[in-house]
Amino acid sequence: MTHRYCGRDFHADEIAQIRRLIAEDPERTRAELSRLTCRALAWYKADGGLKDMSARVAMLRMQEDGIITLPPPRHKPPDATVAITPRTDPGQPIRMPARALMPLTLRRVEDKRDSRLWNEYIQRYHYLGHKPLPGAQMRYFLFSRDKPIALLGFGACAWQTAPRDSYIGWSHDQRKRNLPLIVNNARFLILPWIQSKNLASMLLATAARVLPSHWQEVYGYRPVLLETFVEQPRFRGTCYKAANWIYLGQTKGRGKLGPSGKQSVPIKDLWVYPLVPHFRGPLTR
């Protein structure tokens, strides 16, 4: 029997191997077990690193389903609450065309201080709030002169979605092999006191130009396609259209863990943006 977690099929012999790793040494931590599991099953990221975070999530779900029994956690998980401080208080309203805000500076989140500030802005002003981005990721601040005006976050793409997979035309095996070449624009926030025509599409275009090189620098490969999901009826995706993203259709509203054939999350519009002209080539190898 096969079980599917985190975009990967686990066969009966692999489940048995995970059980053996747990039984071999009762002193092993969950983190150690996730790393051992990755090595035993040859579960690696595109840059050659272990997919240990995905393995950890998969093993927790296996335990929830009664398939394995993990050792108890050694440490209490840290408080995930994002504190709101005066650092992110609203600024003075700005109402001017995007060109008047030039020069714009895109800055990567690279240290803990920036990470905490990015999380705080997202928690305070984004309708989804702060949640850790999945998998490989890249986060940005956008500044007008020295003032933050927007934030962008990119992470792992959806494991499967019919409109995108049909558009690419890849097989099941090609999708499993090449999925890291697609990056999801998971967060886009223009701070609510900034009112600037054409700013959103300009920022999306700027991010699309610089992200492939940054991704190569950090993860060792260049993505070829961006995707994003726009929740209806809250948004219409106008800025993505203006930035030349391509509308592919709608999701079914089932989510990653929703029951088959039943809507459990909001229906979303799916948009994609090719980062290279012949993006299907690398995706269908």
pLDDT number for residue 76:
61
Q: Measured between alpha carbons, how far is residue 180 from residues 67, 221, 226, 251 in Å?
A: 28, 9, 11, 20
Looking at the structure, tell me whether residues 51 and 102 fall in a common domain.
no
Looking at the structure, tell me whether residues 139 and 262 fall in a common domain.
yes
Looking at the structure, tell me whether residues 58 and 176 fall in a common domain.
no
Is 196 buried (19+), middle (13-18) or exposed (0-12) by CB count in 10 A? buried
The chain-wide mean pLDDT, for the chain, equals 91
Looking at the structure, tell me whether residues 168 and 216 fall in a common domain.
yes
- Domain with 18, as residue range(s), is 3-64
- Asked, for residue 71, whether it belongs to a domain, the answer is no
Looking at the structure, tell me whether residues 22 and 96 fall in a common domain.
no
Looking at the structure, tell me whether residues 148 and 182 fall in a common domain.
yes
Q: Residue 262 above 70 pLDDT?
A: no
- Asked, for residue 128, whether it belongs to a domain, the answer is yes
pTM of the model: 0.77
Looking at the structure, tell me whether residues 57 and 129 fall in a common domain.
no
- Asked, for residue 161, whether it belongs to a domain, the answer is yes
Looking at the structure, tell me whether residues 165 and 216 fall in a common domain.
yes
Instruction: Domain count for the chain, please give it.
Output: 2
Looking at the structure, tell me whether residues 246 and 214 fall in a common domain.
yes
Looking at the structure, tell me whether residues 41 and 153 fall in a common domain.
no
- Asked, for residue 74, whether it belongs to a domain, the answer is no
Q: Residue 260 above 80 pLDDT?
A: no
Q: If you average pLDDT over residues 268-274, what whole number do you get? A: 97
Bridge partners of residue 272, in order along the sequence: 227, 246
Looking at the structure, tell me whether residues 96 and 12 fall in a common domain.
no
- Could you tell me if residue 101 is left (phi over 0), alpha (psi between -120 and 50 degrees) or otherwise beta? alpha
Write phi, then psi, for 55 (nearest 5 degrees).
-65, -40
- Predicted confidence (pLDDT) per residue in 139-197, tens digit: 999 999 889 999 999 998 998 999 999 999 999 999 989 999 999 999 999 999 999 99
Percentage above 70 pLDDT, the chain? 94
Looking at the structure, tell me whether residues 19 and 137 fall in a common domain.
no
- Predicted confidence (pLDDT) per residue in 82-129, tens digit: 999 999 999 999 999 999 999 999 999 999 999 999 999 999 999 999
- Asked, for residue 269, whether it belongs to a domain, the answer is yes
CATH of the domain at 185: 3.40.630.30
pLDDT number for residue 258:
45
- Asked, for residue 78, whether it belongs to a domain, the answer is no
Write phi, then psi, for 92 (nearest 5 degrees).
-70, 135
Q: 37: which DSSP letter?
A: H
pLDDT number for residue 80:
62
- Asked, for residue 75, whether it belongs to a domain, the answer is no
Question: 233 preceded by cis ω (within 30°)?
Answer: yes
Percentage above 90 pLDDT, the chain? 72
pLDDT band at 257 (very low <50, low <70, confident <90, very high): very low
pLDDT number for residue 124:
97
- Asked, for residue 70, whether it belongs to a domain, the answer is no
Of 60-64, 152-156, 228-232, 258-262, the range with the lowest mean pLDDT is 258-262
- Predicted confidence (pLDDT) per residue in 212-221, tens digit: 999 999 888 9
